[in-house]
């Protein structure tokens, strides 16, 4: 799998896409299926040939790339809460990498979810419930604990809680991919212009 700047930008966009969906759920109580499906799809990809293939079809991480560009350029739609969550996800994944038992439990949980995906589809409540439980059994036991802010009415909804935990799991999966292709916090701090250029080129290729 390539370790170039586009690969790193794509993996980082995967984190932003999942966290952006979490933020929207927390504030509005709804989710965009086209944004969420690539996040869920990525959870099942073990041996994808490219980073982009982890998320599905070409253009699958457009929302994440748009969010990444907004964060790096300071655009009006920039959301510092999303940036805070992304940083926490990167820290949580780094901690997860030091806990082989939790990693093994996650692999088992993903394998067990394949039959549910095949029977119900990616965005079925049964699949969200499965991954939410998996998140609670593994990542919720590690630090940092990711705190989501939003409308209490939406956050108290059990279905939304399952969706949020599943999307956080997808964000951690993208963070794992980010590390696997050579990404580090130093890339965000010192090479963010390169990442920004790759993200903008990605969107231009899709005429967005």
Please tell me the predicted confidence (pLDDT) of residue 186: 77
Per-residue pLDDT at 77: 67
What residues contact residue 196 under an 8 Å CB cut-off, 6+ apart? 68, 69, 72, 73
Tell me the pLDDT of the chain (208 aa) as tens digits: 678 999 999 999 999 999 999 999 999 999 999 999 999 999 999 888 899 999 999 999 999 999 999 999 986 667 889 989 999 999 999 999 999 999 999 999 999 999 999 999 999 999 999 999 999 999 999 999 999 999 999 999 999 999 999 999 999 999 999 999 999 877 787 778 999 999 999 999 987 5
So what's the architecture of 5-205 in CATH?
A: Orthogonal Bundle (1.10)
Tokens found for residue 161: 């809680």
pTM of the complete model: 0.96
Each domain of the chain, given as residue ranges in start order, spans: 5-205
3-state class percentages of the chain: helix first, strand second, coil last, to nearest 5: 75, 0, 25
């Amino acid at each position: 799998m390539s370790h170039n700047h586009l690969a790193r930008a794509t993996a980082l966009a995967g984190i932003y896409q999942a966290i952006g969906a979490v933020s929207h759920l927390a504030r509005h109580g709804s989710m965009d299926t086209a944004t969420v499906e690539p996040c869920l799809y990525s959870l099942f990809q073990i041996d994808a040939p490219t980073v982009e293939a982890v998320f599905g079809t070409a253009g699958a991480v457009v929302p994440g790339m748009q969010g990444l560009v907004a964060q790096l350029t300071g655009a009006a739609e920039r959301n510092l809460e999303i940036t805070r969550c992304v940083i926490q996800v990167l820290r949580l994944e780094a901690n997860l990498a030091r806990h082989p038992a939790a990693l093994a439990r996650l692999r088992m949980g993903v394998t067990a979810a394949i039959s549910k995906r095949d029977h119900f589809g990616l965005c079925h409540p049964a699949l969200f419930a499965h991954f939410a439980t998996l998140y609670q059994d593994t990542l919720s036991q590690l630090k940092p604990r990711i705190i989501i802010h939003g409308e209490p009415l939406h956050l108290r909804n059990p279905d939304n809680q399952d969706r949020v935990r599943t999307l956080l799991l997808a964000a951690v999966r993208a963070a794992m991919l980010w590390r696997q292709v050579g990404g580090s916090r130093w890339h965000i701090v010192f090479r963010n212009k390169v990442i920004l250029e790759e993200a903008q080129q990605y969107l231009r290729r899709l005429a967005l």
